Amino acid sequence: MIEISLESRVENDTLIIRVVLPEEKLPQYEYAYYFIKDGERILTKWYSANYEERFVLEEPGAYYVTCFARNIENKNDMASKYTRLYTYPWGEENEKAVFEEKSLSESQFSICSRIEGGMLECEVHPSDNKFKDIEFAFYLMNRFEKKETVSYSPYNRTRFPLTSDGIYSVKCFIRRGQELMVKMSRFHGYKAENTFGLETNVREPFRGGAITVYSF
């Protein structure tokens, strides 16, 4: 199976993506792209020979691109990769940040969660933007049972629709390479007509959850 990497850069209001493969392999594959804004896919570019693509940004938001590479003659030979997260309008964190390779720790991340309009919203807050290649995944938990999953991506926020009464929380996975951190949001009581429990409409970091750091 092929492995790809991506080069990404910003120019004016454009995010430019280029697939990195040996030159002789580039024509053997076709490429497709998902353009993601605030965790939602807003544009799909279907498979073509274009190993470089440009995406014009018009609205403020958090953006990244997922690229798919597929062998023209062997459709089972394929791979995907996504860029890091870019914040638009462009800021210093996009263009001039010096990324640090320090280990992940509890003090570097906090979790905010709330229920609003029948949705449980959760956001992981890094202490700064100087982390490279961080990925986030989420489980929706009702009491201690997993109900829904959001797979790894560079996007640090998610929303889960609540369809039944329960005591809900979000299990957050923060990954970089072989490092994995797991943090829990606080608990939120939910009923179809209203919410109950710990100030569920107030955003504040959850300080008392369990955390586990794994090294492989």
Among the three residues 63, 95, 127, which one is the final residue of a domain in this structure?
Answer: 95
Q: Are residues 117 and 199 in the same domain?
A: yes
Structural domain boundaries enclosing 13: 5-95
* Inside any domain, residue 174: yes
Number of domains comprising the chain:
2
Q: Are residues 67 and 112 in the same domain?
A: no
Q: Are residues 110 and 189 in the same domain?
A: yes
* Inside any domain, residue 101: no
The type of residue at 46 is W
* Inside any domain, residue 180: yes
* 38 contacts 114 by C-beta, under 8 angstroms: no
* Inside any domain, residue 37: yes
Among the three residues 95, 116, 137, which one is the final residue of a domain in this structure?
Answer: 95
Distance CA 91, CA 96 (A): 8
Q: Are residues 130 and 202 in the same domain?
A: yes
Distance CA 142, CA 180 (A): 23
* Inside any domain, residue 100: no
Mean pLDDT of all residues in 43-65: 93
Q: Are residues 122 and 163 in the same domain?
A: yes
Omega of the bond leading into 89 within 30 degrees of 0 (cis): yes
- pLDDT surpassing 90 at residue 188: yes
Q: Are residues 83 and 114 in the same domain?
A: no
Q: Could you tell me the maximum CA-CA distance found in the chain, to the nearest angstrom?
A: 61
Q: Are residues 114 and 191 in the same domain?
A: yes
Q: Are residues 114 and 204 in the same domain?
A: yes
Read out DSSP for 113-167?
A: EEEETTEEEEEEEESSS-BSS-EEEEEEEETTEEEEEEEEES--EEEEE--S-EE
- pLDDT surpassing 80 at residue 168: yes
Among the three residues 95, 114, 135, which one is the final residue of a domain in this structure?
Answer: 95
Counting Cα atoms < 13 Å in the Cβ hemisphere of 83 gives 27
Does the predicted TM-score (pTM) go above 0.75? no
- pLDDT surpassing 50 at residue 207: no
Per residue in 70-111, pLDDT (tens digit) is: 999 998 999 998 888 888 886 655 544 434 445 667 667 889
Per residue in 105-136, pLDDT (tens digit) is: 766 788 999 999 899 999 998 776 556 678 89
Q: What stretch of H or E contains 62?
A: strand 61-71
Distance CA 63, CA 197 (A): 34
Q: Are residues 53 and 24 in the same domain?
A: yes
Mean pLDDT of all residues in 202-213: 37
* 87 contacts 62 by C-beta, under 8 angstroms: yes
- Which of 128 and 45 is assigned the larger pLDDT? 45
* Inside any domain, residue 76: yes
The chain-wide mean pLDDT, for the chain, equals 82
What CATH number is associated with residue 53? Answer: 2.60.40.10
The percent of residues above 90 in pLDDT, for the chain, comes to 50
* 95 contacts 10 by C-beta, under 8 angstroms: yes
